[in-house]
């Protein structure tokens, strides 16, 4: 079980995991800057997991900053709002960061607008709402998990029949190298974070609230401890050992509670609700300042960008302009990654907009994104010692390589959450997690076919 | 480079740990250099000659079966050196060559290459030589400080046995123990100033190399420790029951190939179990078998067979020491 530990003493953590270099120093001390407005914004209808949003505006229509432009397309879906005062100039297919052409609403900014947001507060204060109205509010605010997966937040906040939420956990681990946006959010938006926590706590009534933070962010730990102390809420700031993937939901739960989330189950099955710190700030923004999710904090960093920064960027801003704001790229053939280097995705070019799930834009040199030789598995066991789920990546890698999908499934590949720790340590450079991604989709495909 | 494909990374992770397989292998080779030097110091040029021939045979065979690219992982070089370290310094060079070919060919290539083999390749080569040339492989010589002359047996030719018989032989500490109950001085065992195989005599140097490898995470420290514990406990029990008939534990630990086997042979990554529990079973098993064979078997030395037997048991151990996966009961 957890205990009240100071972060100088022994730190809570999970077993196994890896220690990649953090590379956070470049941006961890840079205060969040507001990115200036640009001419055009591309609002993808599909920037969360689940059904895409449904547009409710026409081409040529004028929209106000914060105005609803697309409504949720189902329960697992969220609303979308205009990030600026302007005019809808197109509803068409545009490049999405996921590499595909996808429907989006393009808005040209009104150059004469002050961009003041004048959306009235909800009629009834959030404390007087019932649970359902709160959940609806979160969905209407367009809030998704800001940690990167962009899963609609209201779905996570809803507690299914028969489940209880004993613990509320705020995830401020930020274990991915390079990224510092959550760190800055905790330091600079501590009050909003506590306020958002108060709102969520009002509904979930958890016995205890934990804020899990890796111990390499002592300023965030100190500030939140102080803010939590005067909040009157049952908050415990839990400094966690610096280790990847400490920020994975299951790993944080195990670190703090000493309990495992059973295979195939959700955190709520062990009485826990986990939410990223940025998501909680978005909750406060909406219910206290009636500002829907129209901008987010992201980290622009890497060795091939002029200046590393943490920026508050309107959703829909072209990434090229975000990078240019940071002084541009300094090498001829950069490698661009979205998200962190352990779980992020390669981006071919910068002609895509920022979406709600964009936690970082990483510009690295060709050399840094190492290419290396692959050798035979020498059965060194390093991958086994790295896997936080105690899987056997060496064996799974062999099975995946030979297309033995059934045996791969028996070896619990579906539990693998693709943290990439195994590939990170493999001295033979075997593309382990890469082959598990393929294996998982093959197994899922097969299951889908069988269920028909 | 047809065999080792260069990965162009297009999916995460984009960071990688420092250790690579060639680096691991070369570091192991580096750690063996002091042992080779000690071999030279005690047994002269012969030690170097036998080692060179074994390495040549192993690398040549690897090249033949797998192509040149595979040589870069350094594993054939290690096999060659380890095989040589388990041979007497006066061993005929042509036999050493055959041993090298067999080590790679039967120890590794027929299984499908590095990572697929069940038995430690160097020991496969050693076992073959022991079966094929039982005379030559038990012909020992004392350290004599003659650095530049090759030993008599080295240059014998196939099918002409005369030279081998000519060699001045000096029984190993284990043989002296077994056949005439004569205990070798512990300081000689520590330094390595005894007759024996090229790389096995210096307990102190091997231990130092082992400490280095364990510190660098290149061997699993549980393997030598498990072996030491098993050998020490069992032989202490036996010695305690009849001190006049059996050797004391420190002798069991320092004599013969135990140190070399525990640090370099049993720790072979490919042929030892993957999980910690499995490794304890494996290493204690080796220790127990060594004591059994040495004290009650027909041979003075049992390290090679003990390791090979536990190599054979490794797939089974792996099966029964599966770890509990996170979130499963
Ligand atoms: S880390 Fe790589 S080489 Fe080592 S056991 Fe795992 S897959 Fe094999
Ligand atoms: S097997 Fe999956 S969960 Fe385990 S280390 Fe590899 S990617 Fe992570």
For B26, the domain range is 19-170
Work out the minimum CA distance from A260 to partner chain B, whole angstroms.
6
A269: which residues sit within 8 A by CB, 6+ positions away?
Answer: A163, A261, A262
Q: What pLDDT, on a 0 to 100 scale, did the predictor assign at position B286? A: 96
Mean pLDDT of B293-317: 91
Which one-letter DSSP state was computed for residue B325?
Answer: P
Whether residue A391 has its Cβ less than 6 Å from ligand 2: yes
Could you give the angle at the alpha carbon of A411 between the alpha carbons of A406 and A417, nearest 5°?
105
A423: which residues sit within 8 A by CB, 6+ positions away?
Answer: A383, A430, A431, A432, A433, A434, B13, B16
User: How many angstroms separate the CA atoms of A451 and A59, rounded?
Assistant: 42
The reply to whether residue A384 touches residue B14, judged by beta carbons under 8 angstroms, is no
Looking at the structure, do residues B191 and B312 belong to the same domain, yes or no? Answer: yes
Whether residue A420 has its Cβ less than 6 Å from ligand 2: yes
Set of chain A residues whose Cβ sits within 8 Å of the Cβ of B9: 369-371
User: How many angstroms separate the CA atoms of A311 and A185, rounded?
Assistant: 11
Please count the structural domains in chain B.
2
Kindly tell me if the per-residue pLDDT of B182 is higher than 80.
no
Could you give the angle at the alpha carbon of B154 between the alpha carbons of B151 and B159, nearest 5°?
135
Set of chain A residues whose Cβ sits within 8 Å of the Cβ of B322: 392
Q: Where are the alpha helices (DSSP H) in A230-318?
A: 249-257, 277-289
The residue in chain B having the minimum alpha-carbon distance to the alpha carbon of residue A369 is B14
In a domain, B5, yes or no: no
Looking at the structure, do residues B162 and B188 belong to the same domain, yes or no? Answer: no
Kindly state whether A392 is in contact with chain B, defined as any CB-CB distance less than 8 angstroms.
yes
Q: How far is the CA of A375 from the centre of ligand 1 (A)?
A: 10
Looking at the structure, do residues B59 and B165 belong to the same domain, yes or no? Answer: yes
The residue in chain B having the minimum alpha-carbon distance to the alpha carbon of residue A177 is B15
A145 in Cβ contact with A153 (< 8 Å): yes
Kindly tell me if the per-residue pLDDT of B178 is higher than 90.
no
How would you classify the pairing of strands B6-7 and A372-373?
antiparallel
Those of residues 168-187 in A touching chain B at CB distance below 8 A are: 177
Percent of chain A with pLDDT over 90: 80
Separation in Å, CA A447 to CA A50, A416, A443, A450 = 20, 17, 6, 5
Q: From atom 4 of ligand 1, which residue's Cα is the shortest distance away? A: A380
Kindly state whether B7 is in contact with chain A, defined as any CB-CB distance less than 8 angstroms.
yes
Q: Tokens 């382990």 — which residue?
A: A432
Q: What pLDDT, on a 0 to 100 scale, did the predictor assign at position B301? A: 85
Among B217, B325, B326, which would you mutate to test the A interface (most chain A Cβ atoms within 10 Å of its Cβ)?
Answer: B326
- Mean of the per-residue pLDDT values of chain A: 91
Looking at the structure, do residues B113 and B143 belong to the same domain, yes or no? Answer: yes
Looking at the structure, do residues B250 and B143 belong to the same domain, yes or no? Answer: no
pLDDT digits (tens, 9 = 90+) for A320-365: 999 999 999 998 888 899 999 999 988 888 999 999 999 999 999 8
Q: Between A431 and A119, whose confidence is greater?
A: A431
- Mean of the per-residue pLDDT values of chain B: 86
B325 closest CB neighbour out of A375, A379, A415: A415
The reply to whether residue A373 touches residue B17, judged by beta carbons under 8 angstroms, is no
CA dihedral B84, B86, B88, B93 (to 10 degrees): -30
A91 in Cβ contact with A59 (< 8 Å): yes
Q: What pLDDT, on a 0 to 100 scale, did the predictor assign at position B170? A: 66
Kindly tell me if the per-residue pLDDT of A378 is higher than 50.
yes
Q: Which of B170, B193, B228 is the last residue of a domain?
A: B170
Percent of chain A with pLDDT over 70: 96
Looking at the structure, do residues B166 and B190 belong to the same domain, yes or no? Answer: no
pLDDT digits (tens, 9 = 90+) for A99-116: 899 999 999 999 998 888
Q: Which of B170, B197, B221 is the last residue of a domain?
A: B170
Residue B68 half-sphere exposure toward CB, CA atoms < 13 A: 2
pLDDT digits (tens, 9 = 90+) for A291-328: 999 999 999 999 999 999 999 999 999 999 999 999 99
Cα A244 to the center of its chain, rounded Å: 15
A375 closest CB neighbour out of B14, B73, B269: B73
Q: What are the structural domains of chain A?
A: 40-109 (2.40.50), 126-289 (3.40.50.11540), 295-364 (3.10.20.600), 382-450 (no CATH)
Whether residue A198 has its Cβ less than 6 Å from ligand 1: no
The reply to whether residue B11 touches residue A265, judged by beta carbons under 8 angstroms, is no
pLDDT digits (tens, 9 = 90+) for B183-236: 777 788 887 888 888 888 889 999 999 999 999 989 999 999 999 999 999 999
pLDDT digits (tens, 9 = 90+) for A134-180: 999 999 999 999 987 899 999 999 999 889 999 999 999 999 999 99
Looking at the structure, do residues B216 and B263 belong to the same domain, yes or no? Answer: yes
Q: Which of B142, B170, B198 is the last residue of a domain?
A: B170
Kindly tell me if the per-residue pLDDT of B159 is higher than 70.
no
Choice from A19, A247, A416, A443 to test ligand 2 binding pocket (greatest atom count within 8 A of CB): A416
Looking at the structure, do residues B123 and B150 belong to the same domain, yes or no? Answer: yes
Kindly tell me if the per-residue pLDDT of A8 is higher than 60.
no
Q: How far is the CA of A396 from the centre of ligand 2 (A)?
A: 10
Looking at the structure, do residues B148 and B188 belong to the same domain, yes or no? Answer: no
Q: Where are the alpha helices (DSSP H) in chain B?
A: 21-43, 45-66, 75-85, 93-107, 121-132, 162-166, 173-180, 186-191, 203-215, 222-241, 249-254, 258-260, 276-296, 303-320
Kindly tell me if the per-residue pLDDT of B160 is higher than 70.
no
Which one-letter DSSP state was computed for residue B6?
Answer: E
**3-state class of B294 per DSSP?**
helix
Cα B145 to the center of its chain, rounded Å: 25
ipTM of this predicted structure: 0.80
pTM (two decimals): 0.86
Q: Where are the alpha helices (DSSP H) in B149-191?
A: 162-166, 173-180, 186-191
Looking at the structure, do residues B31 and B153 belong to the same domain, yes or no? Answer: yes
Q: What pLDDT, on a 0 to 100 scale, did the predictor assign at position B17? A: 87
Buried b (16+ CB within 10 A) or exposed e, A69-89: bbbbbeeebbbbbbbbbbbbe
In a domain, B84, yes or no: yes
Looking at the structure, do residues B159 and B203 belong to the same domain, yes or no? Answer: no
Looking at the structure, do residues B253 and B120 belong to the same domain, yes or no? Answer: no
**3-state class of B116 per DSSP?**
coil
A237 in Cβ contact with A224 (< 8 Å): yes
Work out the minimum CA distance from B30 to partner chain A, whole angstroms.
18
């Amino acid at each position: 079980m957890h205990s009240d530990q100071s972060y100088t003493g022994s730190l809570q953590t999970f077993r196994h995991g890896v220690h990649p270099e953090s590379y956070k120093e470049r941006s961890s001390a840079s205060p969040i800057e507001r990115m200036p407005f640009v001419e055009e914004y591309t609002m993808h209808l599909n920037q969360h997991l689940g059904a895409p949003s449904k547009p409710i505006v026409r081409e040529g229509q004028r929209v106000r900053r914060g105005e609803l432009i697309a409504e949720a397309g189902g329960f697992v879906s969220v609303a979308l709002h205009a990030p600026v005062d302007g005019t809808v100039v197109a509803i068409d297919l545009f490049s999405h960061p996921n590499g595909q052409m996808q429907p989006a609403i393009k808005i040209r900014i009104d150059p004469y607008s002050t961009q003041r947001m004048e959306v009235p507060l909800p009629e009834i204060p959030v404390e007087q709402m019932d649970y359902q109205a709160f959940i609806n509010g979160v969905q209407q605010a367009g809030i998704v998990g800001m940690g990167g997966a962009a899963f609609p937040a209201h779905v996570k906040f809803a507690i299914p029949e028969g489940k209880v939420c004993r613990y509320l956990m705020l995830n401020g681990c930020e274990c991915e190298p390079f990224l510092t946006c959550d760190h800055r959010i905790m330091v600079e938006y501590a009050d909003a974070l506590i306020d958002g926590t108060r709102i969520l706590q009002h509904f979930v009534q958890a016995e205890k609230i934990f804020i899990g933070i890796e111990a390499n962010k002592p300023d965030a730990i100190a500030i939140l401890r102080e803010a939590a102390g005067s909040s009157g809420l049952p908050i415990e700031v839990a400094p966690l050992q610096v280790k990847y993937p400490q920020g994975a939901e299951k790993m944080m739960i195990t670190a703090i509670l000493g309990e495992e989330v059973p295979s195939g189950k959700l955190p709520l099955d062990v009485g826990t609700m986990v939410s990223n710190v940025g998501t909680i700030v978005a909750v406060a923004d909406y219910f206290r300042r009636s500002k829907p999710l129209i901008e987010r904090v992201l980290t622009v960093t890497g060795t091939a960008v002029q200046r590393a920064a943490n920026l508050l960027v309107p959703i829909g801003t072209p990434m090229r302009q975000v990078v240019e704001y940071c002084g541009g790229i300094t090498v001829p053939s950069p490698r661009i990654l979205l998200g962190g280097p352990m779980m992020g995705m390669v981006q071919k070019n910068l002609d895509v907009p920022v979406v709600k799930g964009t936690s970082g834009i990483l510009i690295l040199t060709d050399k840094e994104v190492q290419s290396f030789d692959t050798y035979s598995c020498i059965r060194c066991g390093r991958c086994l010692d790295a896997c936080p789920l105690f899987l056997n990546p060496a064996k799974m890698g062999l099975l995946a390589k030979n297309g033995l999908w059934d045996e791969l499934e028996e070896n619990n590949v579906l539990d693998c959450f693709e943290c990439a720790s195994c590939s990170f340590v493999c001295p033979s450079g075997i593309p382990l997690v890469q082959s598990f991604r393929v294996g998982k989709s093959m197994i899922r495909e097969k299951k889908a076919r069988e269920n028909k | 480079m047809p065999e080792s494909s260069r990965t162009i990374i297009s999916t995460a992770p984009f960071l990688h740990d420092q250790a690579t397989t060639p680096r691991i292998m070369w570091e192991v080779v580096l750690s063996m250099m002091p042992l080779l030097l000690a071999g030279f110091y005690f047994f002269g040029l012969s030690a170097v000659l036998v080692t060179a021939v074994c390495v040549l045979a192993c690398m040549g065979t690897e090249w033949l079966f797998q192509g040149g690219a595979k040589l870069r992982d350094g594993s054939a070089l290690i096999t060659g050196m380890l095989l040589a370290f388990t041979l007497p310094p006066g061993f005929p060079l042509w036999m050493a060559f055959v041993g090298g070919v067999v080590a790679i060919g039967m120890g590794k290539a027929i299984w499908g290459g590095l990572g697929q083999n069940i038995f430690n390749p160097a020991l496969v080569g050693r076992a073959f030589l022991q079966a094929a040339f039982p005379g030559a492989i038990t012909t020992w010589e004392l350290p004599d400080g003659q650095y530049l002359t090759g030993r008599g047996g080295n240059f014998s030719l196939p099918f002409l046995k005369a030279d081998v018989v000519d060699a001045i032989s000096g029984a190993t500490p284990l043989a002296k123990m077994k056949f005439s109950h004569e205990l070798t001085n512990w300081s000689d065992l520590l330094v390595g100033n005894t007759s024996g195989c090229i790389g096995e005599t210096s307990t102190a140097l091997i231990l130092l190399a082992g400490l280095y490898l364990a510190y660098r995470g290149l061997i699993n420290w549980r393997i030598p420790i498990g072996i030491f514990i098993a050998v020490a406990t069992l032989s202490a029990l036996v010695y305690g029951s009849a001190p006049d008939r059996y050797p004391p534990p420190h002798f069991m630990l320092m004599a013969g190939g135990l140190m070399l086997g525990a640090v370099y042979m049993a720790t072979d990554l490919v042929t030892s179990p993957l999980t910690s529990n499995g490794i304890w079973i494996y290493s204690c098993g080796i220790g127990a078998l060594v004591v059994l064979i040495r004290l009650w078997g027909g041979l003075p030395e049992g390290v090679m067979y003990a390791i090979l037997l536990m190599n054979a048991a490794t797939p089974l151990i792996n099966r029964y020491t599966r770890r509990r996966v996170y979130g499963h009961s």
